[in-house]
Structure 1
Amino acid sequence: MWYKSYIGKIIIIGVTLVACLTVVMLGFGTKIANIFPNKNQTPAPVYPTNENGQTYGSALYATSPNTEPDLIKAIGVDGTVGYVRSVDLNGPMPKTPEEALELQRKTPSVREIPLYAVDGKTVIGKFKIKNGETQIFTDQPNN
């Protein structure tokens, strides 16, 4: 009969431990979670700025369209390396799904935008945008 009282004490101790752990986790859970930030969040890149106050560089490491540089590195139709304006590249942003469909219908399959020098003013060539084709350029030299 001694084992019945022993089992009862073990059950009471176990329930007490679970209750204490629950209270601690509810009380400190959010504070503990804030100590360990989400490792998947990549910081936005820092771009150099030209004399006109525009940022420039590769958009490869941009975490969203909002973190792209003002001037995005590109290669023109004749092989000239320069920059295209982000606003020219992305075009107008639709406000509704209907407007997005209309813009998509009106956009030609191939369009050309100016290719600029790093100053963002001097036009040095043309850049073609073809629907469905993407090329990514980095600031690192080829190995």
Structure 2
Amino acid sequence: MSAERTLGTSRTLPYTPGEIYGAFASPELLAAWWGPDGFSNTFEIFEFKTGGRWKFVMHSPDGKDYANENIFSELVKDAKVVIHHICQPLFTLTVELTPVSDGTHLSWQQMFDDVQTAQAVKQIVGPANEQNIDRLTQVLSKVASPQ
């Protein structure tokens, strides 16, 4: 049943796990890449620690604002980031970073609390997650050294 609630993707990026993890840990970097193409972010609370809160507003290109509130459920330096989204839609995002010969294999798994929500947002969230990783790569290309 969890497979029906999970939307995921993976990709190998030419950066170290530490550089990718750092793009989550830095509010300036995270604000620059988080979200689909054209979105920007205003962070209200950013406590990058296990149990810490992350509250922000995503601004869409058409001027709409989307309030978001999360808890960092698990943080393993240079290896794993687990974010629990505590406002609608409810989900847990697990990002795992595995070193490989040409950089880091990034696994991005978003598990929604119910099947109905996962299926309802699948057509939007799938491409949005790919854009999110594209934006992460673009930010890292400016601040990190490719492997």
Name the TM tier (shorter chain): under 0.3
Query: Scaled by the length of structure 1, what TM-score is found?
Result: 0.24
Query: Scaled by the length of structure 2, what TM-score is found?
Result: 0.24
| Greater relative contact order (Cα < 8 A, sep 6+) | 2
* Rg larger in structure: 1
Higher strand share: 2
